[in-house]
Amino acid sequence: MDTTVDLDTFSSLVERPDEGARRAAEERWKQLAMPNGGLGQLQELGAWLASVQGSSPTRPLSAAKVLLFAGDHGVASLGVSALDARGGTADRVRAVLDGTAPIAVLARRYGAGVRVVDVAVDTDPAEFPEEVVRHRVRRGSGRIDVEDALTAEEAARAFHAGAAVADEEADAGTDLVVLGDLGVGATTVAAVLVGALCGTDAAAVTGRGSGIDDRVWMVKCATVRDALRRARPVLGDQLGLLAATGGADFAAITGFLLQAAVRKLPVVLDGVVSAACALVAQRVAFRSPEWWRAGAGTGEPAQAKAYDRLTLTPLQELGVTMGEGVGAVLALPLLQAASDTLAEPAAVPSATPLKPRPPAKLPTAAELLGRY
């Protein structure tokens, strides 16, 4: 496999959403029989959907997908999480696959599909279906306070895997991705990435994650501090940063976010993990955040700092902290309502539809990065 990744390619290929479609959507809202701004946040969401779809009226969201990247982290062995470091991630993957996890229940309720991508779960790959493990890079990631999470080759493979998943979803007709994660210790890793990229100290980005007490928070904070010392020398190399103090799931999510933006596939971010990866992706392609929305605030300080840097505002503040895409999927009905209201042809009989532009041939990850 070619382990080189030309990140500059993404910066040149990620375009801004269609501003003409956004303006047409805003005009369409004005023609509805309602007070000016009467639908509040739904109007902004509808205009955003029009711009990312390149069409006004919008197309109703009919093929949303909850996408969960799964991986274990070496720092979990330090006891930085209230969850079981040995087998906890695998158990969460099984709960999603058997349909009992909250995210599986909510996705069914809102008509979204669910897909789990195991890139670094520390268990025998034979325990999961082939479609779950076929992008796996390794079992777990290194303990980032004392060693690299990944080799450079593994970071490239994980990045390629995430970009390939974006192509698979775009080619399958997915029209919106709800992006989540499954991984014990992942909020510690996310805090390191956000702290490094925002130039803050450990205490400013270390949160309670899985519901830890003060003693465990102090251990977590010290772990983040030590990992930050290892992150700062590689800040100028985004893939190097993910290898040193990220993980296979973080590299894959970053690759996914960038290629999704290339393929014009809109994404709803969930917790601090996807926020941290979005911050890394923004450093690669500054236009990419325009293709994302923040689903929900979790109370994690690192997430708040990342969203501030990305100029994203969470659609909801419900106090959901469990990750797994739960907070983000709760925003799906809002987006569905916005698209349906704006798409309804009878709502604005006098409006002239904006003809969608013919789809351009967008480069796949294989064309950008080489097959792996």
Query: CB atoms < 10 A from the CB of 103, how many?
Result: 28
Alpha helices in the chain (DSSP H): 7-13, 19-30, 41-53, 88-97, 102-110, 130-133, 152-172, 186-198, 202-205, 214-231, 238-245, 248-262, 272-284, 301-310, 326-329, 332-343, 365-369
Q: Residue 220's closest CA among 82, 352, 117?
A: 82
Three-state secondary structure readout of 80-92: CCCCCCCCHHHHH
Q: Residue 98: what residue type? A: D
Residue of 147, 324, 344, 367 marked catalytic: 324
Q: Residue 323: what residue type? A: G
Virtual CA dihedral for 187, 189, 194, 196, nearest 10 degrees?
150
Q: How far apart are CA 259 and CA 187, in angstroms?
A: 24
Instruction: Decide if 67 contacts 179 (C-beta within 8 A).
Output: yes
**Residues in the chain, total:** 372
Q: How far apart are CA 210 and CA 190, in angstroms?
A: 13
Distances (CA, A) of 242 to 159, 209, 245, 282: 9, 20, 6, 14
The secondary structure of residue 130, as a DSSP letter, is: H
Q: Residue 311's closest CA among 275, 342, 345?
A: 275
- The yes-or-no answer on residue 15 being catalytic is no
Instruction: Decide if 356 contacts 54 (C-beta within 8 A).
Output: yes
Distances (CA, A) of 236 to 45, 151, 241: 34, 17, 8
Extract the tokens encoding 133.
């493990």
Q: Residue 26: what residue type? A: E
Active site residues: 324
